[in-house]
Chains A and B, each alone.
Chain A
Amino acid sequence: MSAATFDRRNERVPLAPYLLSGPALLVLGTLLVIPLVATAVLSLHSFSLYKGIQNVYNFDNYVDIFSDPYFYAIYARTFRIALIVTLLSILLGAPEAYILNRMRDPWRSGFLLVVLGPLFISVISRTLGWALLFGSTGLVNQGLVALGLIDRPLQFMYSETGIVIALTHVLVPFMVISVWASLQRLDPQIENAALSLGAPSGTILRRILLPQVLPGVLSGSIIVFALAASAFATPAIIGGRRLQVAATLAYDEFLNTLNWPLGAAIAMLLLVAILAIIVGCNRLVERRYAQVFE
């Protein structure tokens, strides 16, 4: 490892940074690009039950997906769930981040740990907890009955509602992180300045705080939406075999039906859709807010 931390030969391009980042670049580059390209190619193949994967090249799989209402329903469900989860995480996560921000230590860092800690716990364990809570004799239903809100237990397991609740739980910490980060960048004196100019607290919230926090909410939304749309474990466990989303559908095609080309096509479509949304929304956020914050 060369310690060329000083400026030799600055007429020539320094080699050191390329040598240093080379190994990581090589590993990530090849292991990302080649498999994805291979999958894209795979999606162009055909499959038959008896002959296996056939090395032909056509768009049949994609045509299939776009024309069959079965697939449409699944993608629709995937993005519907993702949208609802995103909205819920904004409604829950953003205020929570704000409330945490106003706390004093030690409560503040303590609760922050509690809210963000679950990110380190496997999604399986967290979703298992919801599976335990749902169910006709699960705690949620017991609680609701006890509170008199319902007469008979509701169906949470194997329902979209259940998936939404569990998935929001898994992903809301990301929203909290994003909103918290943009709250940290706020100069606390701005609020004081507004107060000194006579603004009531509702106005301060609406016209001063919210606009500054909005970029954080937006970038958090992008993250949550992308993760929700590509979620696998939670929909698989809570939704079961009957309620498919895009990722579980791909899993099914790959490991059960063994129709790899179709599975690959499903995956590619999901990838393209999510990348388009991420990049598109990021551009929007940057363009809208770049002048304010950079």
Chain B
Amino acid sequence: MSFLVLDQLTKAYGDVIAVDRLSLEVAKGEFVSLLGPSGCGKTTTLQMIAGFVEPTNGRITLDNGDLLSVRPNKRALGIVFQSYALFPHMTAAENVAFGLEMQHVPRAERDRRVAETLSLVGLSALADRFPRKMSGGQQQRVALARALVIRPRVLLLDEPLSNLDAKLREEMQIELRQIQRTLGTTTILVTHDQSEAMALSDRIVIMNRGRAEQIARPDEAYARPASEFVANFLGKTNQLAASIRETDGRKIVSIGAALWPAADAMHCGPATVAVRPERIALTANGGVPGILRHRVFHGSHWLLQVETDAGAVTIIRQNDGQALPREGEAIQLSWRAEDMSVTPGKGPDA
């Protein structure tokens, strides 16, 4: 059952179309991410849902009621802003209580719910502290508590974790997901960080230039990207020059001496092969030959940059204690046919 529905939502600033006929149905309790590079329209979409930007066209429906006709201070949405936007002259508890005050919740119940929510985000000890005396992570939790305490119908998160350092960000991601699961709040997250989107969401909306390129579960979008943009945005993909030819009535795609079967419908001629770094293995023979140029250490894994005649290739190897080839060494690469996608008719982009 759809709880929040965006129907052909459009926003144009003069000639520039920031959001282009975006349609999305979010189920109750679902966690959906709007993912894309800056300028793709994800924040504008969020602001239209929040009511701070008026759409040029399209409708937004929440729980079967038209949302656009409701003023922004009556939409009962919880918003966590990128800069947290805490009230600097109020303590954490007062910040969290503000929304309840606006709803005229009586004092006793207000205090109870504030204490409850602060403890949910782990900040009970800081209830009487002012924002400027808090770390970024603590401020972020106050902002979250403030949005959650009003029991919003939808929780909107505008890049809430982008100001945190990497380690804190990972911790907060896990916590955020746990809290959302506990409360069952329908959530929309805006982010440019694809690993964050994939980690947290039930579904992702990958946006580019105002359009939704794909709306799918993270693992689906990753395995079967609907467009080249999605393929390049989610994770890394290698692109190699190959050719398709016909042998014994079957189509074959080849890079040098390495061969894989190809679909019959493909035309013969030059083609591009796309394969993810984690699906490439090192083999003794029969693979694509190349020279290992650089090894980059990343703690849990290595990145190997390999130079082949078909193009530059990046491979990921787990740091499992096994020996790695040295820089300058000649190696051979292989992968399964089902781990690559073949696009006939053009060479790889630069």
- What are the interface flags for B19-58 relative to A under an 8 Å C-beta threshold, 1 for contact and 0 otherwise? 0000000000000000000000000000100011110000
Q: Tell me, in angstroms, the Cα distance from A6 to B51 when the chains sit together.
A: 8
Q: How many B residues face the partner with a CB closer than 8 A?
A: 7
Give how many A-B residue pairs fall within 8 Å (CB-CB).
Answer: 13
Chain A's nearest CB lies how many Å from the CB of B54? 5
Contact between chains at B13 and A6 (CB < 8 Å): no
Q: Judge whether A185 is part of the interface by a CB distance below 8 angstroms.
A: no
B67-79 near A? 1/0 per residue, CB < 8 Å: 0000010000000
Collect the chain B residues with CB atoms within 8 Å of residue A9's CB: 54
Q: How far is the CA of A122 from the CA of B300 in the complex (A)?
A: 71
- B47: A residues at CB distance < 8 A: 6-7
Say whether B13 contacts A10, CB under 8 Å: yes
Interface residue A8 (Cβ < 8 Å from any Cβ of B)? yes
The CA-CA distance from A10 to B52 in the complex, in Å, is: 11
Q: How far is the CA of A10 from the CA of B56 in the complex (A)?
A: 10
Task: For residue A4, give the distance in angstroms from its CB to the closest CB of chain B.
Answer: 10
Report the separation of the CA atoms of residues A6 and B44 in the bound assembly, to the nearest whole angstrom: 12
Bound Cα distance from A8 to B11, whole angstroms: 12
Q: For the complex, what is the distance from the CA of A9 to the CA of B51, rounded to whole Å? A: 12
How distant is the Cα of A66 from the Cα of B51 in the complex, in angstroms? 65
Least CB separation from A6: chain B residue: B52
Residue of chain A at shortest CB distance from B14 = A11
CB B226 to nearest CB in A, in angstroms, measures 32
List A residues 1-57 near B (Cβ within 8 Å).
6-10
A7 and B12 CA atoms in complex are apart in Å by 13
A10 cross-chain contacts in B, Cβ below 8 A: 13, 54
Question: Contact flags (1/0) for B304-348 with A, using CB distance below 8 Å?
Answer: 000000000000000000000000000000000000000000000
Measured between beta carbons, the chain A residues less than 8 angstroms from B53 are 6-7
Q: How far apart are the CA atoms of A10 and B72 in the complex, in Å?
A: 16
Please give, as numbers and ranges, the residues of chain B lying within 8 Å of A7 by CB-CB distance: 47, 52-54
Q: How far is the CB of A145 from chain B (nearest CB, A)?
A: 59
Q: Which residue of B lies closest to A9 (CB)?
A: B54
Q: How far is the CA of A6 from the CA of B72 in the complex (A)?
A: 10
Min CB distance B70 to A, Å, is 14
Separation in Å of the B267 CB from the closest CB of chain A?
Answer: 48
Q: Chain A nearest CB: distance from B49 CB in Å?
A: 13
Closest chain-B Cβ to A73's Cβ sits at a distance in Å of 59
Distance of A246 Cα from B257 Cα, bound (Å) = 97
Q: Give A14 Cβ to nearest chain B Cβ, in Å.
A: 12
Name the residue of chain B whose CB is nearest to the CB of A3. Answer: B73
Name the A residues within 8 Å of B13 (CB-CB): 10
Which residues on the B side are within 8 Å of A6 (C-beta)? 47, 51-53, 72
CB-CB < 8 A to B72: which residues of A? Answer: 6
Q: Within the complex, what minimum Cβ distance (angstroms) separates A135 from chain B?
A: 54
A7–B50 Cα distance when bound, in Å, is 12
CB of A226, distance to nearest CB on chain B (Å): 39
Cα–Cα, bound, A6→B79 (Å): 15
A10 and B48 alpha carbons, distance in the complex (Å): 13
Q: Measured between alpha carbons, how far is A9 from B54 in the docked complex, in Å? A: 7
Name the residue of chain A whose CB is nearest to the CB of B53. A7
User: In the complex, how many angstroms separate the beta carbon of B308 from the nearest chain A beta carbon?
Assistant: 46
Q: Which of B47, B54, B72 has most A Cβ within 10 Å?
A: B54
Q: Please give, as numbers and ranges, the residues of chain B lying within 8 Å of A8 by CB-CB distance.
A: 54
Q: A18 to B234, alpha carbons, bound, how many Å?
A: 47
Give the Cβ gap from A6 to chain B, nearest Cβ, in Å.
4
Q: Tell me the smallest distance from the CB of A93 to a CB of chain B, in Å.
A: 36
List, in ascending order, chain A residues with CB within 8 A of B52's CB. 6-7
Q: Name B72's closest neighbour in chain A (CB-CB).
A: A6
Closest Cβ neighbor of A10 among chain B residues: B13
Chain A residues with CB under 8 A of B54: 7-10
Q: Name the residue of chain B whose CB is nearest to the CB of A5.
A: B52
Distance between A179 CB and nearest chain B CB, rounded to angstroms: 32
Which A residues are CB-close (under 8 A) to B51? Answer: 6
Shortest Cβ distance from residue A44 to the other chain B in the assembled complex, whole angstroms: 50
Report the minimal beta-carbon distance from B30 to chain A, rounded to whole angstroms: 27
Q: What residue in chain A is nearest B12 (Cβ atoms)? A: A11
Distance between B241 CB and nearest chain A CB, rounded to angstroms: 47
CB contact list, B75-121 vs A, under 8 A = none
Q: How far is the CA of A160 from the CA of B53 in the complex (A)?
A: 65
Cα separation A10 to B51 with both chains bound (whole Å) = 13
Closest chain-A Cβ to B327's Cβ sits at a distance in Å of 37
A6 CA / B52 CA spacing, docked (Å): 5
B48 → A minimal CB distance (Å): 10
CA distance A8 to B52 in the complex (A): 7
Q: Which residue of A lies closest to B13 (CB)?
A: A10
Give the complex CA separation of A10 and B11 in angstroms. Answer: 11
- Whose C-beta in chain B lies nearest to the C-beta of A7? B53
With both chains docked as a complex, state the minimum distance between the C-beta of A9 and any C-beta of chain B, in angstroms. Answer: 6
A8 to B54: give the CA distance in the assembly, Å.
6
- Complex Cα–Cα for A7 and B54 (A): 7
* Nearest chain B CB to A83 CB, angstrom units: 48
B85 to chain A, nearest CB (A): 12
In the complex, residue of chain A having the shortest beta-carbon distance to the beta carbon of B73: A3
B53 to chain A, nearest CB (A): 5
Q: With A7-B53, A10-B13 given, name 11 new contacts (CB 8 A).
A: A6-B47, A6-B51, A6-B52, A6-B53, A6-B72, A7-B47, A7-B52, A7-B54, A8-B54, A9-B54, A10-B54
A residues contacting B by CB (< 8 A) are 6-10
8 nearest A-B pairs in the assembled complex, by CB-CB distance: A6-B52, A7-B53, A8-B54, A9-B54, A7-B52, A6-B53, A6-B72, A7-B54
12 residue pairs A–B, Cβ–Cβ below 8 Å:
A6-B47, A6-B51, A6-B52, A6-B72, A7-B47, A7-B52, A7-B53, A7-B54, A8-B54, A9-B54, A10-B13, A10-B54
